Amino acid sequence: MKLLETKQVLGQGIEIESTRVGEAVAKGISVIQYDIDDGLAEYKDYSFDYVILNKTLQATYNPLLVMKEAVRVGKKVIVSFPNFGHYIIRGQLFFLGTMPKSKDLPYEWYDTPNIHLVTISDFEKFCRDHQFKVIQKFFYDDEKKLLPFIPNILSPYALFILESIK
């Protein structure tokens, strides 16, 4: 809603869970119920200026298909994700021997929506291997403070702006 109110952005969301679709519609947000893992065939190439995958990619069954479709329908793609290479996550796994939990990752191993645990280094390699051009990248903490040094270890979150290599 903030983008619509402050920047007059027209957007459309995609959500798989019907209760969340209803909640979004009740707030005046344009959203369709759809499984992004099925691709985005109903959208033409470059239908949108931006496609935003906000903490979504790691919860998809086929991240490569989702990314290929995102760069096809959007001129640019914004991808954000929790960095599973962050030192606190590494420490919980190493010292406690259990899957990590945090404020933003409060799930048990058996009920997490995160099915592809990705680090910043993994994602950068993924982009190189599949020819997604990284335009900008940001690494930040819970307070949205930018962390430019050793991001794969120090940053709990990453945000990349990408486009397809044509």
User: 72-115: per-residue pLDDT in tens?
Assistant: 999 999 999 999 999 999 999 999 999 988 887 889 989 988 89
User: 1-29: per-residue pLDDT in tens?
Assistant: 566 677 777 788 888 888 988 888 888 88
Burial class (CB in 10 A: 0-12, 13-18, 19+), 28: exposed
Residue 40 belongs to some domain of the structure? no
If asked whether residues 90 and 147 sit together in one domain, one would say yes
Residue 19 CA from chain centroid, whole number? 21
CA distance 127 to 86: 20
Residue 114 belongs to some domain of the structure? yes
Query: What's the mean pLDDT in 35-44?
Result: 90
Q: Could you tell me the residue range of the domain that residue 75 belongs to?
A: 45-164
Q: Tell me 58's DSSP state.
A: G
If asked whether residues 106 and 156 sit together in one domain, one would say yes
Residue 121, pLDDT score:
97
If asked whether residues 24 and 50 sit together in one domain, one would say no
Domain total for the chain? 2
If asked whether residues 73 and 149 sit together in one domain, one would say yes
Residue 92 belongs to some domain of the structure? yes
Radius of gyration of the chain (CA): 17
